[in-house]
Chain A
Amino acid sequence: MSENNPFPNENNSGHVWDDNLRELLNDPPTWWRIGFHASWILVIVYTILYPSWPMLTTHYKGVMGWTAMGEYKEDLQSIEMVRAKYEEQLPNKSAAAIMADDDLSNYVVKSAKVLFGDNCGACHGTGGAGNPGYPVLADDDWLYGGTVNEIITSITNGRKGVMTAHGKSLSTEEIDELANAVMSGNPASSPLYMSKACFACHGPDGKGMAALGSANLTDGIYRFDEADQLASIKYTIKHGVNDASDPMTRNAEMPIFGGTKLTETDIKKLAIYVHKLGGGQ
């Protein structure tokens, strides 16, 4: 073909189509060649520096010793560094002292949010909204007291209050009367409240006693909150709470979180978090 090249001395490849369409042997543009060489040099440099080539059982580690895990741990460490400033102060400070410090209690509330979600939210609901059968933590009605130290005790040791099942000792009419008195917000309005010794636990005015964990019967907030509240009260009076002698008794138990489950600092954080949900005293 080259012997009848119609365009000699033109630096073409000798391929001619349609009489005059031919391929020239020009170099690619300089910028293109710079780009091309730069890219393969980059690949070599990169694969020397960073983990890259696969080998039979392992892989080439790269001279910089970089690993994704290492980077993650470094990030984690830098977060811990930020937290350390606060965390270091917590073990030696009382809950009250922490709450007096705006900065510190802000930190505690934020970091305890996760702890609460992991340990408490399942029963008490996010934000302490409560669930059927589990107390609301955002209100100011506390069975065992709502000071931060009382909350710490409740979390550390757990709670298991007892109310005797009165199904055997009271008639259905008596239970009805007592239940209605409780519903009205003034349990002492029924003479049965005194004569049947309800006051012994719930107090002469029906406001409950934090030492025993007995419920306040006057504030319209119910430990066992159900749609038909009257029926629910009757059930509680009849079968009691945690009364082993009655198989239909209500179960109400706050597990123990102290000891191996949570550290003292974590419990302190949680107590402050709960205290600040809206009802702390």
Chain B
Amino acid sequence: MSEAPNSSENSSKHFDELYDEIDHWEVNTGEETIHAKRMPGRFRNLKWLAASVWLVFFIGPYFRWEGRQAITFDIMGRQFHIFDITILPQDVWMLSLILLFFAILLAAVTSIAGRVYCGYFCFQTVWTDLFTWIEEKLEGKPAARRRAEKLPLSQQRLPRKILKHIIWIMIGAFTGISFTLWFGDAFEMWKAYFNNDVTMWAWGSVIVFTSFTYLFAGFMREQVCLWLCPYARIQGVMVDVDSIMPTYDFHRGEPRGRLKKGKHDADKGDCIECNQCYAVCPTGVDIRNGQQEGCITCGLCIDACDSVMDKINKPRGLVKYMSLDELNGKEQPPIYKRPRPLIYMSIMTLAAIGILYGLTHLGALELSVLHERSPLFVLQSDGSIQNKYELKILNKTHKDMKIGVRAEGHQSLTLVGADREIIAQPADTASFTVFVRIPKKELAGERESLSFKIYNLEDDKISAEYKSMFFGPRIR
């Protein structure tokens, strides 16, 4: 041993104690697998219900509409079908509004009720829930699983373990395949998968989805929420003292203490230190330490504690959904008096109006007109000034369309080159050149405004308009 001076030994001891405290993490950093206990209850049921929304993801591609897949993201054809509506890249501004809407919805929900999305809807939570459910069915309750974990592999129940992994991988693959079905015809694609006749992209997506589902839901689980998920990282700025989240009522619960001989000590709080709330937590959080980043607000600890309270004949709600204000006995302002949700909701309303406007004004025809710049205008031998225009016609329907063209804006203009047959092919932009002539002496100025109208020759309710300019020489 060294003969270090006494003072140094003391101070280093002091610091080592400080360091020791760091060992006391309230969040599991992945060194141990969390085996959460499963308990029935209100929030457990709600969780299954919310998770079932994901069935749409699996069933969705099989819906038919007018002889084709109801919802398709046709990447190659650069169009998106949702029932009767076809959305082309031109309409993509709506997508940004949709994204805005959901981003703000997430923020609004978070400010009102915390990470509702995490606890009930998030694919990470839902798939992990499913995976651990399978694990429990095959490998037993948490205690049994923990015991087995410590045994060498040879003494574990290997067939069941292998079966578990096979089922996990199959769920992953099914997830991946279902994802790709949204981008093509579901039935055709299933056939193609069995004949190994799909694109590299499809196989690639399936492989990526399978491996990430297997890895994230099977192994990383709550670690994804703790260290990978960006939403979890910013939730701190999205909640405030009025956001309701699963909270342990420490006023009522403390000082906690164990039941002695089934009796409750009179000067102790209501928490009997049964640790059920901790045992059921899928992220390994002890809610009694207060609101913390590991909590995905799934409410399972509420179910757990409520069942305990029922058993010891105390009122439910030692752990319950409440805000910090409520916990501290302050009054909880109603939602319409809190600026945060109000601002979020007004943004959402604006975005929703935009989306609605977009969807109702999609139109079947679209026109844009390029005015030739070089030369801007040309003098013709009959004394008229000629301008050249390129009409870009987009047909958003599924059928060929015969197009008629009109130009308006000057009483003596002549439209040249529009009398031939103009056919716009579906979901494609066609360009046609036309000329407009106006007698030079009838031009009032260097420029006149002009508008082009195109319409379906068979049904002139389908039309589009574009405002352009007519240029002439300087009037001397």
The residues of A with any CB-CB pair to B shorter than 8 Å are: 3-8, 19-20, 125-130, 136, 138-141, 216, 219-221, 276-279
Distance, CA A118 to CA B258, complexed state (A)? 94
A219 touches B374 (CB 8 A): no
Q: Are A219 and B8 closer than 8 Å at their CB atoms?
A: no
12 example contacts (A-B, Cβ-Cβ < 8 A) are as follows A3-B2, A4-B3, A4-B4, A6-B2, A20-B12, A125-B374, A129-B375, A129-B378, A136-B378, A216-B381, A276-B433, A278-B378
B283 lies within 8 A of chain A by Cβ: no
Known A-B contacts A138-B388, A139-B386, A278-B435; A20 and B15 likewise in contact (beta carbons under 8 Å): yes
- A183 CB to nearest B CB, Å: 14
Assess whether B381 is in contact with A139, with CB atoms less than 8 Å apart. Answer: yes
A195 → chain B closest CB, angstroms: 27
Q: Is the CB of B9 within 8 A of A127?
A: no
Report yes or no: A127 in contact with B374, Cβ–Cβ below 8 A: yes
How distant is the Cα of A126 from the Cα of B373 in the complex, in angstroms? 9
Residues in B whose Cβ lies below 8 Å from that of A20: 8, 11-12, 15-16
Whether a CB of chain A sits under 8 angstroms from the CB of B379 is: yes
Instruction: Determine whether the beta carbon of B2 is less than 8 Å from that of A5.
Output: yes
Cα(A253)–Cα(B433), bound, Å = 31
Query: Is the pair B379, A139 in contact by a Cβ cutoff of 8 Å?
Result: yes
Number of residues from B at the complex interface, CB < 8 A: 24
What residues of chain B lie closer than 8 Å to A138, measured between beta carbons?
A: 375, 378, 386, 388
Closest CB of chain B to A83's CB: distance in Å? 19
B388 engages A278 (CB within 8 Å): yes
How long is the Cα–Cα vector from A6 to B388 in the complex, in angstroms?
90
**A127–B378 alpha-carbon span in the complex (Å):** 11
Q: A19-B8, A127-B374, A136-B375 known; A4 and B382 CB under 8 Å?
A: no
Instruction: Tell whether B383 is near chain A: CB-to-CB under 8 Å.
Output: yes
Q: Mark B343-381, 1 if CB is under 8 A from A, else 0.
A: 000000000000000000000000000001111001111
Residues in chain B within 8 A of chain A (CB atoms): 1-4, 8-9, 11-12, 15-16, 372-375, 378-383, 386, 388, 433, 435
The 4 A-B residue pairs whose C-beta atoms are closest, nearest first, are A129-B375, A219-B381, A127-B374, A4-B2
Q: Are B2 and A127 in contact (CB under 8 A)?
A: no
Given known A-B contacts A20-B12, A139-B381, A140-B380, A130 and B4 have beta carbons under 8 A apart: no
Query: A203 CA to B22 CA in the complex, in Å?
Result: 107
Cα–Cα distance between A219 and B433 once the two chains are bound (Å): 25
A141 to B381 Cα, complex, angstroms: 6
Give min CB distance, A194 to chain B, whole Å. 23
Of A8, A19, A127, which one neighbours B375 at CB under 8 angstroms? A127
List, in ascending order, chain A residues with CB within 8 A of B1's CB: 8
Q: Are the C-beta atoms of A279 and B433 separated by less than 8 Å?
A: no
Known pairs A8-B2, A138-B375 / 14 extra A-B pairs, C-beta < 8 Å: A3-B2, A6-B8, A19-B11, A20-B16, A126-B374, A127-B372, A127-B373, A127-B374, A127-B375, A128-B375, A129-B374, A138-B378, A139-B379, A216-B381
> Contacts of B2 on A, CB cut-off 8 Å?
3-6, 8
CB distance from A162 to the nearest CB of B (A): 23
For the complex formed, measure the closest distance between the CB of B318 and the CB atoms of chain A, giving whole angstroms: 41
Provide the bound-state CA to CA distance between A138 and B376, in Å: 10
Interchain CA distance A140-B379 in the complex, whole Å: 8
Q: Which of A130, A216, A221 has the most CB of B within 10 A?
A: A221
- CA gap between A130 and B375 in the complex, in Å: 8
Give Cα A140–Cα B385 distance, bound, in whole angstroms.
Answer: 11
A219 CB contact (under 8 Å) in B12, B375, B383: B383
| Also in contact, A139 and B383, with CB within 8 A (given A3-B2, A4-B2, A19-B12) | no
Contacts of B373 in A (CB 8 A): 127
Distance in angstroms from B1 CB to nearest chain A CB is 7
CB-CB under 8 A from B375, the residues of chain A are 125, 127-130, 136, 138
**Contact among A4, A128, A139, A277 for B380, CB-based, below 8 A:** A139
Chain B nearest Cβ from A161, distance in angstroms? 18
Q: Determine which of B9, B12, B379, B388 lies in contact with A221 in the assembled complex, contact meaning CB atoms within 8 Å.
A: B379
- Cβ of B12: which chain A residues have Cβ within 8 Å of it? 6-7, 19-20
Q: How far is B358's CA from A233's CA once the two chains are assembled, in angstroms?
A: 60
Chain A residues within 8 Å of B374, by CB: 125-127, 129
A184 CB to nearest B CB, Å: 13
Chain B residues with Cβ under 8 A from A4's Cβ?
2-4
Residue of A nearest to B12 (CB): A20
Minimal Cβ-Cβ distance residue in B for A141: B381
Return chain A residues, CB-CB under 8 Å to B379.
136, 139, 220-221
Interface centre among B375, B386, B388 (most CB of A within 10 A): B375
B380–A279 CB distance below 8 A: yes
**Chain A nearest Cβ from B188, distance in angstroms:** 28
Please state if B378 and A6 are interface contacts (CB–CB under 8 Å).
no
Q: When the two chains form their complex, are residues B3 and A220 in contact, meaning their CB atoms are under 8 A apart?
A: no
